[in-house]
Structure 1
Amino acid sequence: MTSRTASNAVPVGPAGRLPFPFVILRRLHPRLLARWYDRHLQRLDLAAIDDHLLRDLGLTPEDVRRECAKSFWQA
């Protein structure tokens, strides 16, 4: 029987190098990650607004669909 333990260690690839996605994430500035997460949450909130409030904001359902279809890094 093997035991599993949670580990925060990053997997290391051949020759002791970090896998490509980890190299990129390590170099990103923390504020950029916070901005991306905030943008993601704002789009979730926008998708939850009903049509009546969208009209008050001057937005159409198509505007909302277009905005919510963007990836988190796209402004």
Structure 2
Amino acid sequence: MTNASTSLPLGSRQSSSFVIWLRSRLPARWYDRHLQRRDLSEVDDHLLRDLGLTPQDVRRECAKSFWRT
């Protein structure tokens, strides 16, 4: 019995692997980014200064969609 991915040409196997990775990992990355931005929005001004960020930096970052880096 042959595996479906081994019967495909090499380029197709690589594309299939990428699609599988994309479907499994990309939503997790997006959710993680959403959580990081939410946490950043709750940091107080004193800690922002320690991080070298301004409130405007935080607003700009938090205004981004979850899929944007």
| TM-score, scaled relative to structure 2 | 0.68
What is the CA–CA distance in structure 2 between the aligned matches of 1:30 and 1:63, rounded to whole Å?
31
Percent identity reads 79
User: Aligned-residue CA RMSD in angstroms?
Assistant: 0.8
Amino acid at match of 1:57: L
- Which of 47, 53, 59 is the equivalent residue of 1:59? 53
Which structure 1 segments of 5+ residues have no match?
1-27
Q: Which residue of 1 is the match for residue 38 of structure 2?
A: 44
What is the CA–CA distance in structure 2 between the aligned matches of 1:60 and 1:66, rounded to whole Å?
10
Q: Which has the bigger relative contact order, CA under 8 A and spacing at least 6?
A: 2
4+ runs deviating over 2 angstroms: none
Q: Which residue of 1 is the match for residue 10 of structure 2?
A: none
Tell me which protein shows more helix as a share of its residues.
2
Q: Which residue of 2 is the match for residue 22 of structure 1?
A: none
Which structure 2 segments of 5+ residues have no match?
1-21
What is the CA–CA distance in structure 2 between the aligned matches of 1:61 and 1:48, rounded to whole Å?
11
What is the CA–CA distance in structure 1 between the aligned matches of 2:25 and 2:44, rounded to whole Å?
31
Length, aligned pairs only? 48
